Amino acid sequence: METSVGVVTISAEDTEKLGRAVSEALRPGDVVALAGDLGAGKTVFVQGAAAGLGVLQPVVSPTFTLVREYAGRLPVVHMDVYRLDRVQDVLDVGFEEYLDGRAVVFIEWGDVIQGLLPESWLGVRLTLDMQDEARRAVTVTRTGPAWSGRWELLERLLAPWESV
């Protein structure tokens, strides 16, 4: 079994739909760390995933607020650690309490604080395409035991997209 799966999205709506599809595999306590350049589609992905988790409010980028919380079928926490230059800032916003196992936690630029992530997390890396501004390569990677039992489900959920 591979530890990562790569697909292509062809529009923002398509990436939103991909987030929605992935959300079907998410459970309380999950951490999803998003990576990719500015404008790659991290927030768009989270918007789709949050909608899939039953969040009805609009999900807006937490770039300047650091963290936003939403009530869906599950509590949803959305963080953006981009502007943080110190690990301490992440801890000061109560980072560890958000990982108490109740919520699904999305962290944009989560790869930057990998050392603070729990044992298991799902990585989503979005890569811009130099030739096509509406195209993204999206690589989903699992880390830790929490994802082994759900990986086939995740692969099934991503099957409708062209793979890379």
Residue 36: contacted member of ligand ADP, Mg ion, none (CB under 5 to 8 Å, by partner type):
ligand ADP
Query: With binding defined as CB under 5 A, does residue 15 bind Mg ion?
Result: no
Q: List the interface residues with ligand ADP, window 48-77 (CB under 6 A).
A: 61
What is the number of other CB atoms lying within 10 angstroms of the CB of residue 136? 25
Measured distance CA(63)–CA(83) in Å, rounded: 7
Per CB under 6 A, the list member of 44, 55, 105, 158 interacting with ligand ADP is: 44
Q: How far apart are CA 164 and CA 76, in angstroms?
A: 29
Applying CB under 6 A, the site for ligand ADP has a residue count of 18
79 binds ligand ADP (CB under 6 A): no
User: Binder to ligand ADP among 17, 20, 32, 36 (CB under 6 A)?
Assistant: 36
**Is residue 28 within 8 Å of 102, Cβ to Cβ?**
yes
Phi first, then psi: give them for residue 48, nearest 5 degrees: -70, -45
Residues 109-138 within binding reach of ligand ADP (CB under 6 A): 134-136
Sign of CA dihedral 148, 11, 135, 80: negative
Binding-site string for Mg ion from residue 58 to residue 97, where x marks contact by CB under 5 A and - marks none:
---x------------------------------------
Cβ density class 1-24: b for 16+ within 10 Å, e for less: eeeebbbbbeebebbbbbbbbbbe
Q: Which is nearer to ligand ADP, 20 or 136 (CB)?
A: 136
Q: How far is the CB of 78 from ligand ADP (least distance, A)?
A: 11
